[in-house]
Copies of this chain bind each other. A is one copy, B any other.
Amino acid sequence: MGTDDQFRMTPQREVILEELERVDSHPTADEIYEMVRERLPRISLGTVYRNLETMAERGMIRKLEVAGRKKRFDGRAGEHYHVRCLECGRVGDIDRVRGLDALTRCRKLAGYQIKGYRLEFVGYCPACAGGS
């Protein structure tokens, strides 16, 4: 009575996971592809996309929902905020901590020069009310 199908830890997945955990840059799919390709030259971009998706569904990695054209992925656990560079698009982390406000942390930890923030709530609209 397997509710979920079996997941196989293939070499491709192992390497993707390792590379993703090695960096803290929230790479895009094609960046991950390039990183992985140095170790598995024959891997295909399609496989990278498929596996990132699969692993994100299983909670093994995180798919970032940030503004911008390309999707980004993250090997880190735990909730945290992000900082996006207006110039180069780079995305950094900010721990989600109480007590010390995030803006201050941001300046201190990452050296980012903060210009503002975007707050986006998510949930179910009246029409879709299906959420619960």
Give the interface of A toward B (CB within 8 A): 65-68, 81-88, 90, 92, 94, 102-103, 106, 110-132
Docked-complex contact B67 and A125, CB < 8 angstroms: no
Docked-complex contact B126 and A116, CB < 8 angstroms: no
Docked-complex contact A117 and B117, CB < 8 angstroms: no
Shortest C-beta distance, A61 to chain B (Å), equals: 17
Q: Which residues of chain B are within 8 angstroms of A132 by Cβ–Cβ distance? A: 113
Docked-complex contact B92 and A125, CB < 8 angstroms: yes
Q: Which residue from B82, B115, B122, B125 sits with its C-beta under 8 Å from A131?
A: B115
Closest residue of chain B to A84 (Cβ to Cβ) is B122
Shortest C-beta distance, A81 to chain B (Å), equals: 5
Instruction: For the complex of A and B, list the 8 residue pairs with the smallest distance between their C-beta atoms, beginning with the closest.
Output: A87-B128, A85-B125, A114-B123, A65-B67, A111-B126, A83-B121, A115-B123, A113-B124
Q: Which residue from B82, B116, B120, B131 sits with its C-beta under 8 Å from A117?
A: B120
